[in-house]
Amino acid sequence: MRKLLCLLVVVALLAPVSANAWWEKGHRLVAGIAWAHLTPVARENVKALLGTESMADVAAWADVDRPLETQTGNWHFTDIPGDKTTYDRDRDCPTQPGVKLGSYNDKVRDCATDRILFFEARIADPKLDPIDRATSLKFLIHLIGDIHQPFHASGVERGGNGIIVTAFGQPTCGSTAKCNLHAIWDGYLIDHAKLSDEDYLKYLEKDISKNPPTLGPNDPVLWTQESKVISDAAMVANNTNIDEEYYTANMPVIDQQLELAGVRLASVLNAAFTTPPVPFKPAPIDPTR
């Protein structure tokens, strides 16, 4: 166990920051907002599945797990092409490895939009093993955050990863690697606000109470398309310097996306968890088999 934990820490430290949407801080903020908007019965269910861990504790787990289970990499984003703003499942969401398009096994695909629906169904199924449901909940918390990071819905230069920029005159942002537009939106602009998690959550919750977000239906397709439109508007050319003007113009959008992700995550969990948790009863073992 100790060796596994050390491996996970090393993997997390070595992973490029541009691979992780919202970085850890953004994901914790989304989880914190969601927790504040859960119904009492939904909170009971979340506690029953996560045990001593909070939603904020597990919010970035899927990024740590990602290098260890490489198929999950594509679950974190959906690539809508640069000249499109609507989602096309056959074009934008690849089939699982070895699965033929439209075949019997082609029921869930490897993009954020599809996987959100998949994990929604799993957490709501009380017949599933609690460990499976807990893993599904961790993924769901993370992926709903991911798809609200606008560049996780864009296929342009791999979600902006291929657009090299400077950040307030600096060539790196958050690491020793060259800064790119994706990393700017993942967390560098959030970090530039220089707010603690607690203060940032208070700020976002105050804004939610004053200006309740328009949620619409719990539909990841619509969320994906919203994010693509935002990423198109925030696109810059290679070698752009991300400055205070860009920060001032786009931080309200980032705040809006964090708020929407959190409140929508709460809405999904409230819909999935409508009854108190009950002890899991595994199916009896057939002694004749």
Q: Which residue reads 């990071």 in tokens?
A: 149
- Residue 2 pLDDT exceeds 80: no
Note the pLDDT of residue 7.
41
Question: Is 87 strand, coil or helix?
Answer: coil
Q: H or E element: which one contains 166?
A: strand 166-167
One-letter-per-residue 3-state SS of 7-51: HHHHHHHHCCHHHCCCHHHHHHHHHHHHHHCCCHHHHHHHHHHHC
Model confidence at 4, pLDDT cuts 50, 70, 90, reads very low
Question: Distance between CA atoms of 109 and 106, rounded to whole angstroms?
Answer: 7
Contact 235, 165 (CB under 8 A): no
Q: What is the DSSP letter of 179?
A: P
Note the pLDDT of residue 282.
67
Contact 179, 188 (CB under 8 A): yes
- Residue 22 pLDDT exceeds 90: no
Note the pLDDT of residue 8.
40
Matching CATH number, 15-94+105-272, of 3.40.640.10, 3.40.50.300, 3.30.450.20, 1.10.575.10: 1.10.575.10
Q: pLDDT tens across 212-235, in order?
A: 998 889 999 999 999 999 999 999
H-state helical runs in the chain: 2-14, 23-36, 40-50, 55-58, 61-65, 89-92, 112-123, 130-147, 157-160, 181-183, 189-192, 197-210, 220-233, 244-272
Note the pLDDT of residue 283.
63
Share above pLDDT 90 across residues of the chain, in percent, rounded to a whole number = 82
Q: pLDDT tens across 41-97, in order?
A: 999 999 999 999 999 999 999 999 888 888 999 999 999 999 999 999 999 999 999
Note the pLDDT of residue 53.
97
Note the pLDDT of residue 65.
87
Model confidence at 286, pLDDT cuts 50, 70, 90, reads low
- Residue 240 pLDDT exceeds 60: yes
Note the pLDDT of residue 100.
96
Model confidence at 264, pLDDT cuts 50, 70, 90, reads very high
Q: pLDDT tens across 110-156, in order?
A: 999 999 999 999 999 999 999 999 999 999 999 999 999 999 999 99
The arithmetic mean of pLDDT across residues 96-100, rounded, is 96
Q: pLDDT tens across 168-212, in order?
A: 999 988 777 899 999 999 999 999 999 999 999 999 999 999 999
- Rounded to the nearest 10 degrees, the angle between the axes of helix 244-272 and helix 220-233 is 180
Contact 161, 147 (CB under 8 A): no
Domain boundaries, the chain: 15-94+105-272
Note the pLDDT of residue 279.
78
Q: pLDDT tens across 151-162, in order?
A: 999 999 999 999
Note the pLDDT of residue 173.
83
